């Protein structure tokens, strides 16, 4: 029988520094156009560079035209499937508060939430077909299902870094600042550098650093 | 750091790939020389990936006008001795069905692979459909990968096997493979490039009744040889555990979920496991071996109980006494998951669930009413919104004359514009499948006494709208057929089509105009409008509906995403709109209620235009009774 590629010997590929993990589940949630998929691509590319086994999935197509977008990245030697089993999420990177809530059933009591406080209100709210929950309610509910919420206004920080379009990278930085992602800092930065043309790379590295610092400050 | 791509000849290197990229990579490694497809989620990125490396690697890649043509193009290459791939989504296979069914009679010369991506939970489809039944009907062997990495492996296998057995092979993907992601270790790229040669053999290639009778036994014979071979195919694998009471037969992706579920339940090593990589034909020897070894079996597979029924038949035919479970414990609707497998296995083994799923469900039920509905919607500035608005106004004006309660009926089609069935636009009454808007409109016109207005997009028109348009002329159906021409296959990611003037690999080609086709088909009323000139567009549509005979309106305006990209490239400024708060009363909300544009929203009781979302289409200006919507930014 040929190897099924399910038992990749992680240790053999691991370069110094990256932590060897059995299973670490990242859920990235937001709205079409916020750059959810890019976060998962960067995480995946960095994981490969660090020699970490990586699986994931996303939903595209009809689901993207203004609808919710969820992307999954799973790291570690015990990971086989493309989906996070209910209740096994380790970190939720939420680019939109109500989408954080929508995906909170995936979380485990020890999980962390990185929350962008900037809302994107769907058109059904001004149409009077639905209501948008109050931020206090969102935070209270997320508190019940996670160990820590790190909230920040990613757009404002991104503007500080040089472009509001880098809000997703601010969130990625904040996720690393939370201190559990098994990917090396240098490696994720290499992945960011490799993805963007030089000028945008500088802005995005700054966005990453600012998000990271914000998260560290929150932590202390 | 050297940048690797999906086209790099770098055996042993690891790359983080989308499932569809891994599938394309497998085809590249196998030395595919011809690849054709019609876009459809979740399969589109396969051909996009191949188009991206076509020139570098010497592969002929095309976006065909529909899946049937795509299959025929690829199959012709196989008959000429080249390795060829056709890829499509499950419902695309229905379009290609006729050609596929007889292709297996003819067999393959160069390796012929048909990649079909099923869409459990219908994330972006009109139906859930299990393509393995189609494969069975056509005596097509099916390989089904358990992971993204194995999808790459199986593409290589499929080409090899197709050539070895002179028979076309299907590879079945699902959304979570095609849109899954994984690290993939690259293999070697075949450098073999064959010259096409068509060896004439009418007895095998011409399907008259006698051709069918001659070839059917040969096809069955080829299939039986494949059946003998699959027991040793590496994608099938049996792990028997001593003393196991339960055996699991896990097909394709469900194998990944099963492995995780067993680990989660702490049952690794206590359950026998048969991984199925060839659901059709099944590895019968391995299946029997498992059935004879355990008293209880669970079959796990995406969508229908295809493997389950065949396993039951094997058990019955061999008189093996064993309880076989499957869709009695795993839902028939939607995607599988580690949780669903965990629950089913826990039930059969009387194991404790690893976590309290009921509590998670309760939490989900509590959250549901708090969450704002966020349905997908037409983009701000989408020309379809303007077309729909014009169509509805025109339809209303004419329908009135058919009686007080008369309403125009709007058959719709598959594309971004399908979203206009939702409030507040609600301008599609029936949507079935690609091209059906015009076909359904034909039928309605013969039985209803009210205006019938069918509408589809440009790519859909070229795909399957033309025969129904011709039918309307031929059979004198008084229908209005609107072609929403945004010069793009927008929903699936802007793939070229005959109206765009360039091919999959970016070569310039003839730009075909839908209005020219309509005229050539004999339609006497053919007009082209710009939907952003709303008044004129509405008037033309009204005249089209009144026309005594089939009428065609082409509503042409590039997709706003393309338009914005082009403007950005050209350095052109977008002039947006704003709402003059002195004139707006903040309560009428006509702009919001009529259009549902994501750029128009509420802020502290005021109605405002979000300057980050507005693209300056100006449609909302027409809806405002107070003339409060003004061009430019407020001073």
> Sorting pLDDT into bands at 50, 70 and 90, what band is B2?
low
CA B87 to chain A, closest CA, distance in angstroms equals 17
Helix, coil or strand: residue B565 = helix
Show residues of chain A in contact with B185, CB under 8 Å.
5
Do B152 and B240 belong together in one domain? Answer: no
Report which of A109, A106, A139, A83 is spatially closest to residue B364, judged by C-alpha positions: A106
Name which of B16, B181, B374 is nearest A57 (Cβ-Cβ): B181
**Count of Cβ atoms closer than 10 Å to residue B281 Cβ:** 20
Angle made by CA atoms A127, B394, B471, in degrees to the nearest 5: 115
Q: What is the CATH classification number for the domain harbouring B623? A: 3.30.70.20
Beta carbons of A60 and B363 less than 8 Å apart = no
ipTM value of the model?
0.93
Residues 6+ away with beta carbon under 8 Å from B200: none
- The tokens for B347 are 């039930």
Q: Is the peptide bond before B281 cis (omega within 30 degrees of 0)?
A: yes
> For residue B129, what pLDDT is reported?
97
In this prediction, residue A1 carries a pLDDT of 42
Determine the structural domain holding residue B125 and report its residue range.
14-231
Q: Which residue would you say has higher pLDDT here, A128 or B435?
A: B435
Q: Residue B326 in contact with residue B308, Cβ under 8 Å?
A: yes
Hey, of A9, A78, A83, A92, which one would you mutate to test binding to chain B, going by the most B CBs within 10 A of its CB?
A: A83
Confidence label for A14 from pLDDT (cuts 50, 70 and 90): very low
Cβ pair B177:A82 closer than 8 A = yes
Q: What secondary structure letter does DSSP report for B568?
A: H
* Cis omega (within 30 of 0) for bond into B424: yes
Within A77-116, residue ranges assigned H as helices are: 97-102
- Beta-bridge partners for B557: none
Residues of A in contact with B417 (CB under 8 A): none
- Given an 8 Å threshold on Cβ–Cβ distance, is B367 in contact with A141? yes
B393, two tokens? 């106004």
B3 assigned to some structural domain: no
In a domain, B377, yes or no: no
Compute the nearest-CA separation of B258 from chain A (Å): 9
Whether B56 and B182 map to the same domain: the answer is yes
- Quote the minimal CA–CA distance from A52 to chain B in Å: 9
Domain of B300, CATH number, reads: 3.40.50.920
Domain boundary residue, one of B514, B546, B567: B567
Kindly tell me the burial class for residue B333, based on how many C-beta atoms sit within 10 Å of its own C-beta (0-12, 13-18, 19 or more): exposed
Domain boundary among B181, B213, B231: B231
**A103 chain-B contacts, CB cut-off 8 A:** none
Axis-axis angle for helices A167-177, A154-161 (nearest 10): 110
Q: What is the pLDDT of residues B209-263, one digit of tens each?
A: 999 999 999 999 999 999 999 999 999 999 999 999 999 999 999 999 999 999 9
Task: Write out pLDDT tens, residues B189-201.
Answer: 999 999 999 999 9
Q: Which of A58, A63, A101 sits opposite B371 (nearest CB)?
A: A101
B185 vs A32: CB contact, 8 Å cut-off?
no
Query: Out of B147, B339, B589, whose CB is closest to A6?
Result: B147
The whole-number pLDDT of residue A219 equals 65
In a shared domain, residues B392 and B275: no
* B180 lies in the same domain as B291: no
Residue B5 is assigned to a structural domain of this protein: no
Distance CA B430, CA B413 (A): 8
User: Which of A192, A1, A10 is CA-nearest to residue B183?
Assistant: A10
Q: What is the pLDDT of residue A65?
A: 65
Cross-chain Cβ contact A82/B180 below 8 Å: yes
The pLDDT, as a whole number, for residue A20 is 75
Inter-chain CB proximity A57 and B256 less than 8 Å: no
The number of residues making up chain B comes to: 635
Rg (alpha carbons) of chain A, rounded to whole number: 17
Do B496 and B601 fall within a single domain?
no
Cross-chain Cβ contact B180/A55 below 8 Å: yes
* Mean per-residue pLDDT, A69-89: 94
| Res B493 pLDDT > 80 | yes
CB B373 to CB A122 under 8 A?
yes
Name the pLDDT band for B313 (thresholds 50, 70, 90).
very high
Are A81 and B601 within 8 A, CB to CB?
no
Q: Smallest Cβ distance to B372: which of A56, A98, A137?
A: A98
Inter-chain contact A85–B337, Cβ cutoff 8 Å?
A: yes
Chain A positions in Cβ-Cβ contact with residue B376 (cut-off 8 Å): 32, 62-67
Phi/psi for A112 (5° steps) reads -115, 150
CB B414 within 8 A of CB B39: no
Other beta carbons less than 10 A from residue B569's beta carbon? 8
Contact check, Cβ <8 Å, B373/A1: no
Q: Are residues B535 and B618 in the same domain?
A: no
**Domains by residue range for chain A, with CATH:** 20-219 (3.40.920.10)
Q: pLDDT digit string (tens) for B538-565?
A: 999 999 999 999 999 999 999 999 999 9
Say if the Cβ atoms of B263 and A41 lie within 8 Å: no
End-to-end CA distance of chain B: 51
Q: What is the mean pLDDT of chain B?
A: 96
Residues of chain B contacting residue A131, judged by C-beta atoms under 8 Å apart: 372
Cα B219 to chain centroid, rounded:
29
Q: Are B120 and B335 in contact (CB under 8 A)?
A: yes
Tell me: pLDDT of B295 over 70: yes
B586: chain A residues, CB-CB within 8 Å: none
Whether residue B93 sits in one domain with residue B217: yes
Name the minimum distance, in Å, from the CA of B210 to any CA of chain A: 43
Q: What residues of A are in contact with residue B124 (Cβ under 8 Å)?
A: 59-63
Instruction: Calculate the dihedral angle through the C-alpha atoms of A85, A91, A95, A96, rounding to the nearest 10 degrees.
Output: 70
Is residue A51 within 8 A of residue A14, CB to CB? The reply is yes
**Residue B249 and residue B227 share a domain:** no
Closest CA of chain A from B490, distance in Å: 10
Nearest CA in chain A to B599: A123
Please report whether residue B368 resides in a domain. no
**B chain contacts of residue A85, beta-carbon cutoff 8 Å:** 260, 264, 337-339, 342
pLDDT for res A59 = 73
Q: Is B63 within 8 Å of B497 (Cβ atoms)?
A: yes
Q: Hey, how many other C-beta atoms are within 10 angstroms of the C-beta on B199?
A: 10
Structure tokens at B555: 């509503």
Task: Using CB atoms, pick whichever of B42, B364, B423 lies closest to residue A105.
Answer: B364
Angle at A134 (CA atoms; ends A132, A137), nearest 5 degrees: 120
Question: Among all residues of chain A, which has the CA nearest to that of B18?
Answer: A57
- Quick check: bond before A101 cis, omega within 30? no
Same domain for B425 and B318, yes or no, is: no
Question: Is A62 a residue whose pLDDT tops 60?
Answer: no
Q: Order of strands across the sheet with B169-174? A: B60-63, B34-37, B84-89, B112-118, B169-174, B142-143
Mean pLDDT over B107-120 rounds to 98
Q: Contact, A85 vs B337, CB < 8 A?
A: yes
Strand partners, B116: B88, B172
Give Cβ neighbours of residue B184 (< 8 Å, ≥ 6 apart). Answer: A5, B14, B15, B16, B17, B22, B25, B148, B149, B152
Token pair belonging to A187:
């490696």
- B526, B541, B567: which is the final residue of a domain? B567
Nearest to B546 by CA among B397, B440, B419: B397
Rounded to a whole number of angstroms, the distance from the CA of A55 to the nearest CA of chain B is 4
The per-residue b/e assignment along A184-218, b for 16 or more CB within 10 angstroms, e otherwise, is: bbebbbbbbeeebeeebeebbbbbbbbbbebbbeb
Distance between CA B329 and CA B327 in Å, rounded? 5
The DSSP annotation for B390-416 comes to HHHHHHHHHHGGG-TT---B-B--SSG
Q: Is residue B511 part of a domain?
A: yes
What confidence category does residue A4 fall into, taking pLDDT thresholds of 50, 70 and 90? Answer: very low
Cβ-contact A54, A73 below 8 angstroms: yes
CB half-sphere exposure, A11, CA atoms < 13 A: 0
pLDDT surpasses 60 at B459: yes
CB B461 within 8 A of CB B476: no
> How many beta-carbon pairs under 8 angstroms link A with B?
208
Contact A80 B260 (CB under 8 A): yes
B123, B144, B370: which to substitute to probe chain A, counting the most A Cβ within 10 Å? B370
Task: Report the alpha-carbon distance of residue B68 to residue B97 in Å, rounded.
Answer: 7
Question: pTM of the prediction?
Answer: 0.96
Asked if residue B372 is part of any domain, the answer here is no
Please give the residue of chain B at the shortest CA–CA distance from A165. B612
- For residue B445, the domain's CATH number is 3.40.50.970
Q: Give the residue on B whose Cα is nearest the Cα of A104.
A: B364
Asked if A80's CB is within 8 angstroms of B234's CB, the reply is no
CB within 8 Å: A4 and B378: no
Q: What tokens were used for B302? A: 């995406």
| C-alpha–C-alpha distance, residues B44 and A29, integer Å | 23
Confidence of residue B1 (pLDDT cuts 50, 70, 90): very low
- Summary count for chain B: helices (H), strands (E): 22, 21
| A56, A61, A190: residue with CB nearest B491 | A61
Look at residues B373, B371, B459, B477 and name the one whose alpha carbon lies nearest to residue B418.
B459
User: Which of B180, B371, B377 shows the shortest C-beta gap to A57?
Assistant: B180
Residue B375 lies in a domain: no
Rounded (10°) CA dihedral A202, A205, A209, A211: 110
- Residue B502 CB: number of other CB atoms within 10 A? 12
Residues B153 and B275 in one domain: no
Claim to verify: residue B560 and residue B580 sit in the same structural domain: no
Tokens of B5: 């791509």
In this complex, do B601 and A123 lie within 8 Å of one another by their Cβ atoms?
Answer: yes
Kindly state whether residues B306 and B293 are assigned to the same domain.
yes
3-state helix, strand, coil in chain A (%, to 5): 45, 20, 35
* Count of domains observed in chain B: 4
Whether residue B441 has pLDDT greater than 90: yes
CB contact under 8 A, A47 and B363: no
Q: Residues A82-111: what's their mean pLDDT? A: 95
Residue B371 lies in a domain: no
């Amino acid at each position: 029988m040929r190897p099924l590629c399910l038992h990749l010997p992680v240790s053999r590929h691991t370069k110094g520094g990256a932590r060897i993990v059995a299973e670490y589940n990242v859920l990235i949630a937001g709205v079409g156009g916020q750059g959810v998929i890019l976060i998962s691509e960067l995480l995946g590319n960095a994981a490969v560079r660090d020699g970490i086994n990586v699986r994931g999935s996303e939903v595209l197509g009809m689901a993207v035209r203004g609808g919710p977008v969820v992307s999954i990245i799973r790291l570690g030697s015990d990971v086989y499937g493309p989906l996070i089993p209910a209740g096994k999420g380790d970190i939720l990177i939420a680019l939109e508060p109500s989408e954080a809530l929508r995906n909170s059933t995936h979380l485990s009591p020890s999980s962390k939430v990185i929350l962008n406080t900037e809302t994107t209100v769907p058109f059904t709210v001004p149409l009077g077909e639905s209501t948008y929950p109050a931020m206090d309610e969102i935070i209270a509910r997320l508190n019940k299902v996670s160990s820590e919420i790190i909230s920040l206004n990613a757009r404002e920080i991104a503007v500080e870094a040089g472009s509001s379009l880098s809000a997703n990278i601010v969130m990625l930085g904040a996720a690393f600042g939370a201190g559990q992602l098994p990917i090396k800092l240098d490696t994720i930065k290499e992945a960011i550098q490799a993805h963007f043309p030089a000028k945008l790379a500088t802005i995005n590295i700054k966005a990453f650093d600012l998000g990271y610092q914000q998260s560290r400050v929150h932590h202390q | 750091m050297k940048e690797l791509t999906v086209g790099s000849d770098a055996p042993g290197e690891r790359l983080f790939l989308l499932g569809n990229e891994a599938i394309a990579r497998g085809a590249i490694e196998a030395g595919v020389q011809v690849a054709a497809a019609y876009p459809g989620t979740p399969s589109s990125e396969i051909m996009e990936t191949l188009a991206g490396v076509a020139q570098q690697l010497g592969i002929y890649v095309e976006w065909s006008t529909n899946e049937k043509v795509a299959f025929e193009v690829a199959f012709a290459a196989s008959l000429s001795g080249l390795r060829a791939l056709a890829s499509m989504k499950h419902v695309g296979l229905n379009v290609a069905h006729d050609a596929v069914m007889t292709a297996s009679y003819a067999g393959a010369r160069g390796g012929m692979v048909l990649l079909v991506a099923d869409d459990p939970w219908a994330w972006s489809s009109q139906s859930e459909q299990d393509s393995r039944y189609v494969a069975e009907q056509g005596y097509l062997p099916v390989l089904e990968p358990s992971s993204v990495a194995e999808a790459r492996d199986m593409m290589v296998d499929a080409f090899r096997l197709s050539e070895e057995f002179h028979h076309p092979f299907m590879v079945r993907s699902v959304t979570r493979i095609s849109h899954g992601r994984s690290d993939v270790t690259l293999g070697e790229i075949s450098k073999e490039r064959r010259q096409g040669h068509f060896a004439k053999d009418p007895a095998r290639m011409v399907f008259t009744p006698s051709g069918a009778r001659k070839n059917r036994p040969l096809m069955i014979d080829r299939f039986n040889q494949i059946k003998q071979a699959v027991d040793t195919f590496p994608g099938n694998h049996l792990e028997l555990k001593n003393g196991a009471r339960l055996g699991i037969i896990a097909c394709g992706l469900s194998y990944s979920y099963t492995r995780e579920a067993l680990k989660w339940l702490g049952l690794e090593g206590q359950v026998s496991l048969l991984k199925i990589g060839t659901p059709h034909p099944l590895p019968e020897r391995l299946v029997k071996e498992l059935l004879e070894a355990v008293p209880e079996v669970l079959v796990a597979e995406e969508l229908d109980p295809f493997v389950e029924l065949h396993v039951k038949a094997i058990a019955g035919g061999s008189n093996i006494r064993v309880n076989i479970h499957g869709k009695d414990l795993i839902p028939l609707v939607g995607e599988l998951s580690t949780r669903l497998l965990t629950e089913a296995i826990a039930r059969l083994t009387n194991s404790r669930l690893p976590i309290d799923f009921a509590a998670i469900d309760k939490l989900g039920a509590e959250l549901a009413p708090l969450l704002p509905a966020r349905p997908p919607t037409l983009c701000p500035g989408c020309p379809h919104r303007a077309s729909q608005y014009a169509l509805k106004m025109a339809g209303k004006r004419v329908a009135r004359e058919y009686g007080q309660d008369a309403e125009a009926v709007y058959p719709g089609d598959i594309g971004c514009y399908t979203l206009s069935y939702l409030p507040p636009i609600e301008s599609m009454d029936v949507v079935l499948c690609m091209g059906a808007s015009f076909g359904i409109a034909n039928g309605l016109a013969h039985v209803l006494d009210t205006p019938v207005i069918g509408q589809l997009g440009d790519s859909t028109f070229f795909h399957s709208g033309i025969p129904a348009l011709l039918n309307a002329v031929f059979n004198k159906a008084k229908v209005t057929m609107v072609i929403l021409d945004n010069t793009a296959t927008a929903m699936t990611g802007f793939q070229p089509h005959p109206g765009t003037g360039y091919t999959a690999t970016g070569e310039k080609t003839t730009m075909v105009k839908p209005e020219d086709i309509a005229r050539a088909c004999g339609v006497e009323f053919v007009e082209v409008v710009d939907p952003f000139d709303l008044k004129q567009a509405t008037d033309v549509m009204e005249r089209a509906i009144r026309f005594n005979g089939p009428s065609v309106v082409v509503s042409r305006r590039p997709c706003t995403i393309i338009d914005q990209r082009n403007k950005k490239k050209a350095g052109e400024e977008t002039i947006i709109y704003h709402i003059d708060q002195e004139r707006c009363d903040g309560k009428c909300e006509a702009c919001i209620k009529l259009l549902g544009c994501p750029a128009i929203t509420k802020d502290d009781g005021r109605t405002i235009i979000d300057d980050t979302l507005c693209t300056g289409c100006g449609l909302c200006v027409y809806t405002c009774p107070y003339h409060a919507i003004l061009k430019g930014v407020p001073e």
